[in-house]
A = this chain, B = another copy of it.
């Protein structure tokens, strides 16, 4: 499965579209200058190409599985993981105080994209650990930080997130797992958790579970939930592994994709845990890292989109069928208008997803470096778009990739179908894309639309002299106002369409800003003709209200 890191595209976006120098000129990130990041991207790209990409098919063909209660990972995954850890990539964004590289999220996001392109299954492992590092950095006690962070950042230990239970998916507050104070600074954690990515493995070291559970005096709902760290092996104060904790992998799921990534049902049976953050403060702690987790999942979608596009392009430029319809063509199916339309759609949409994701990451970095609240608001507004549009793009581009392959796309050997299977769950986990859309029209418009209008103002400035983009921006602005004037359930009814309209309009903004060569202008012209006109229809659906959705009896849904 050949993959080439799109380093030129990354640098173009950083330098010519998003103004990366705004980050490297801050004190916090002064070490991450242009030469430095070019070197980092090049090194990560080589690892993705040479070490991780060869693991993509084996991970699918020989899934992680349970052997006598122990997870056995796919062939080569242990070595691949070691390469990630030894490169320092697990802790690339983490605080140097505990061994991290302290890189901007902007850069680690691009590294994450490349790892996801090369082998999504394996890349989920460090992604989970990164979330845990972030949670402990923000909410862990000094003792917990000192014990866990160096091991997690070095990759010696890995981390997981234990939120979901069978009856508590999108409704986390319905969880039933219990935590009882042992009176010695530890808690006894009991309950069953599902969908635990990389819940166990055979890479050695420790597996550290962050678990949401309810203390005896925890109120029902999200406000009564606390967060605990529950290691597979109980470490001593020096981090030496001791006895096994009272937890186990009950089973692994048989999934549509991501076969290389073990998805566990976990059972905690009075397992020893340590509280992270204050009692009943579990959801607040989760929220801290939720934004970056959503950025990470959007990036998974982007990574798969890029890889699926590269694969389809390579196939199209080799496959000959029929006479070429154009003079001076390649003689391959890439000359055929409809195939070319698909390839351009894939390329343009991937570029747009990348720009939105990078803008989110940069806004977070800029807030962290400057404490300017406007960047925080911008990142918060862009985050649900990043997650939903990034992952939708992953699925849609991978699906087009299958189509470009024709009959070969349906044959697993080709690898085109695996991209579509693997990426599908990214639209579901870390908050379904429907929930992202509800977040956008709900919580993210609670500022009266300030963050939305700030983005729209920026788009309007870009749109000067670009009639199609100006029209899309104006329609979107009216739609934003209309939603602000609507009841919440009417907003929810239009949420998915609104999010998509915003993403597509943002795409015109970024591609127009980046149109500095003839080829980039050509891509933008294609996008302007094929994507921007969709904004009208999406905005119409976004403001159609909720009554339409309930006018049909529930009984008649089945009729």
Contacts and interface: CB of A to CB of B under 8 A. Distances in A.
8 contacts: A170-B321, A254-B413, A255-B411, A325-B488, A341-B496, A406-B428, A410-B425, A519-B556
Contacts of A525: 548, 551
A523 B557 CA distance: 9
A496 B438 CA distance: 31
A304 to B, nearest CB: 14
Contacts of A403: 427-428, 432-434
The 5 closest A-B pairs by CB, nearest first: A522-B551, A533-B537, A338-B434, A519-B556, A529-B544
Contact of A549 (B425, B526, B533): B526
A343 B557 contact: yes
A337 interface: yes
B530 A421 contact: no
Nearest to A416: B256
A256 B326 contact: no
A411 B518 CA distance: 45
B411 A253 contact: yes
A558 B519 CA distance: 11
A289 interface: no
A338 B548 contact: no
A255 to B, nearest CB: 5
A234 interface: no
A559 B519 contact: yes
Interface string A412-428: 11000100110011011
Given A338-B437, A403-B432, A412-B256, A548 B534 contact: no
A43 interface: no
A317 interface: yes
A522 to B, nearest CB: 4
B255 A410 contact: yes
A334 interface: yes
B556 A326 contact: no
A438 B256 contact: no
A432 B406 contact: yes
Contact of A337 (B341, B420, B549): B549
Contact of A489 (B8, B195, B325, B530): B325
Interface string A152-175: 000000000000100101110110
A502 interface: no
Contacts of A402: 256, 424, 428
Contact of A522 (B320, B529, B544, B548): B548
Interface in A399-455: 399, 402-403, 406-407, 409-413, 417, 420-421, 424-425, 427-429, 432-435, 437-438
B334 A557 contact: yes
A417 B256 contact: yes
Interface residues of A, number: 95
Given A337-B493, A407-B428, A530-B544, A554 B317 contact: yes
B170 A406 contact: yes
Contacts of A173: 322
A407 B195 contact: yes
A548 B468 CA distance: 15
A37 interface: no
A459 interface: no
A492 interface: yes
A443 to B, nearest CB: 15
Nearest to A333: B170
A236 interface: no
Contacts of A395: 399
Contacts of A492: 325, 336-338
A466 interface: no
A320 B168 CA distance: 9
Interface string A510-549: 0000000011001101100110011011001100101011
Contact of A534 (B8, B427, B534): B534
Given A321-B174, A406-B170, A326 B489 contact: yes
A8 B559 contact: yes
A425 B414 CA distance: 14
B552 A421 contact: no
A395 B549 CA distance: 23
A339 interface: yes
A232 to B, nearest CB: 23
Contacts of A428: 402-403, 406-407, 409-410
B412 A429 contact: no
A347 interface: yes
A337 B438 CA distance: 10
A424 B405 CA distance: 12
A347 B424 contact: no
Nearest to A319: B169
A530 B352 CA distance: 24
A288 interface: no
